[in-house]
Structure 1
Amino acid sequence: MSNLKKRENPSDGCCSGIKDELPATNREIMYGISKDYRSRGYTTQAVQGVIQYLFENTGLKN
């Protein structure tokens, strides 16, 4: 995610949460990105980072 850190606020937010409607092992990722930064791969990069963090730091299993 190093490219995201070098930019000024490309994303309005990216987070993960537990959703009651999903089976216990699933997570939902929510995000918003400003229209000026769409189609540049920032959301893909941020979501990949969130997924990596979840697997490495929260005990989430495949």
Structure 2
Amino acid sequence: MAVPKRKMSRSNTRARRSQWKTSAVHLVACQNKACRQPKPQHVACPACGQYAGRQVAQPA
């Protein structure tokens, strides 16, 4: 197993970690024709509670 010879400095550690970026959540329109609210992909709609054309949760 590889082991570093010297401790990595705080500035180098932070410079490396600064490249870890998150992306914005991609929103899509709800498939429910009566709802059409924006929602995250692969998640039940928070407005109507439907996912893939069936009711899976109580609407908020």
* TM-score (normalised: structure 2): 0.24
Structure with the higher fraction of residues in helix conformation: 1
Structure with the higher fraction of residues in strand conformation: 1
Structure ranking higher on relative contact order (CA contacts 8 Å, 6+ apart):
1
* TM-score (normalised: structure 1): 0.23
